[in-house]
Structure 1
């Protein structure tokens, strides 16, 4: 069973206190729907840019935004694919981020499937040994555990995370930090481990009540403090998992991680206070019911009031047939109301609760 070794230092305590203070302020601030959506999108774009940049992606932050809007960059097809895949994975984390839901290996595998292939299909763990090499010298930096040990190590990690979250004795940021560290240590795949580790961290924090309305990211901190990131991860007397790292003291990484959270939360607190100062009204509990597709549709209804099946399909980039199937569910759950039932000109309005989101913005 995973049994990490660490100490609670004064720097970790200070960072945790800062996180809790900012978290409390942010969650109580009123933020209007439009601003909340804008802050969330900004956070997702930044997370996508910085997390892929850490892995060598060459697209700038502006190019990342253009890529997600449909642009192509000849000669950088792999970079474009990585960016789109990571953004899809963030949206999947949003979908999976149900408070207090237990973490599963299936969750992690689906996230990795999106990161690497752009599909939420669970991917199998590696079946051979792999190594991490220095990009300049080619020397071995780290040799993960053997492939035969990966399944058990992953089961132990997931069981440990769920157990710690259920007991509630260890602060959630420390649980997330240790999960990040151990996942990277196990290195269960040949590729995509770093990106998946960072998304796993986000998922755990969201489920533990540290989602912060989805308006922060930690990836920027990692990217801007990359030497510290690698130094904090590089513990143990040997580069071999079995000769040092498995029993290493990971206090330094926890400190690095918690300080990053404190920095990110402080920045978001400033943004949120500015937004609240503009007379915002918080409808975030209602917004949290919406998946990414429904959130995108709010913009369409905001402009037109009522919309047709064809307009919804064009806005979401889906086929009209798919929208017909989705609209049945949306009518049942109250997101949509049927405005014109005719087959040729069928149109919809927002359900009463969601109509208020748009009405409140105009006040």
Structure 2
């Protein structure tokens, strides 16, 4: 029997493609450019952080079928209320771990013990006794499609192997970071992929993997996830996310899988986050533009219906109250129209 080994010295003879190198170069360029303007843009960055927390908590849970109303979501994220049901309890747990990662990333080592502690906190508000405990029975990684179809994507290793595999994964990752065997973002992506593929818990694997993604990126000095929700970008490209996981998991058990497909996807998400942050900061740096003009510009550029929350994220220099009032004004002047109602309500240009 071939035992899974994590060889982070060469990641199964991984060769970075030209496309991957190009994405890395663009990320480094944007990261360097943004680092010079963060101090004078503090007010905007604080607003983006607040928006990203809500989006990240919402998107990462919604990927797993856990959600609540927009009003309740904001109240939970800003700790203005207590969870009313199982879904809200899981959302509150994600909120707390997300805040912990944002605020204390440098003090959280990548170890088996840390992973168990973070998982325990993830389920702290629920009645579940599984929080902080590895799976006690074998499980499967199942992809659920929008039409309700389900597909078994991968058979993770047996439950009894989980503690050892997580221990060895953390050791291999930490050693590779110390030795700089690959660019740090490549190592972050590989670690997250292997964690998901081990699927160490009965529940919460996907959500914890995205929190670990933020944690490892923070420690590697890539903090874009503080201002732009990476979880939201993953939710928007969920099909590509699952497909990349599927392609990279082929022959994983026998140490011959290709990390390339998932790493290429991961770098694409990080690059998009930096592009989004750069664009929003540039808007602020330029001559002030009215909220109405910015909302119309956002709807024109996105070429799809946008919720009030999505518009707020794209127009960070204006408050939620200003956005809400401006949307009403634009509706009354017949420049935009509202489609659907309630949680699904979104806005489009009137001539769309």
Question: Match of 1:148?
Answer: 160
Question: Match of 1:112?
Answer: 119
**TM-score, length-normalised on structure 2?**
0.70
Question: Match of 1:38?
Answer: 47
Say whether 1:16 aligns with 2:20. Answer: no
Classify 1:134/1:19 alpha carbon distance in 2 versus 1 (closer, same or farther; 3 Å): closer
Say whether 1:268 aligns with 2:284. Answer: no
Which structure is larger by alpha-carbon Rg, 1 or 2? 1
Classify 1:58/1:149 alpha carbon distance in 2 versus 1 (closer, same or farther; 3 Å): same
Query: 1:102-156 CA distances to partner (integer Å, 9 max, x unpaired)?
Result: 422222222212222349x971211221123454455533211011211111111
Shift of 1:57: 2.1
Classify 1:137/1:227 alpha carbon distance in 2 versus 1 (closer, same or farther; 3 Å): closer
CA distance in structure 2 between the partners assigned to 1:90 and 1:12 by the alignment: 28
Q: 2:133 aligns with which of 119, 124, 129?
A: 124
Question: Match of 2:330?
Answer: none
Structure 1 residues not aligned, in runs of 5+: 280-363
- Written as runs of structure 1 = structure 2, the 5 A alignment for 1:1-363 is 1-3=5-7, 4-5=11-12, 6-29=14-37, 30-59=39-68, 61=70, 63-69=72-78, 70=80, 77-98=85-106, 102-118=109-125, 123-135=132-144, 136-137=148-149, 140-212=152-224, 214-235=226-247, 242=253, 246-276=255-285
CA distance in structure 2 between the partners assigned to 1:153 and 1:132 by the alignment: 17
Q: Secondary structure at the match of 2:153?
A: strand
CA distance in structure 2 between the partners assigned to 1:217 and 1:12 by the alignment: 21
Question: Match of 1:338?
Answer: none
Q: Secondary structure at the match of 1:235?
A: helix
Classify 1:15/1:189 alpha carbon distance in 2 versus 1 (closer, same or farther; 3 Å): same
Structure 2 residues not aligned, in runs of 5+: 289-352
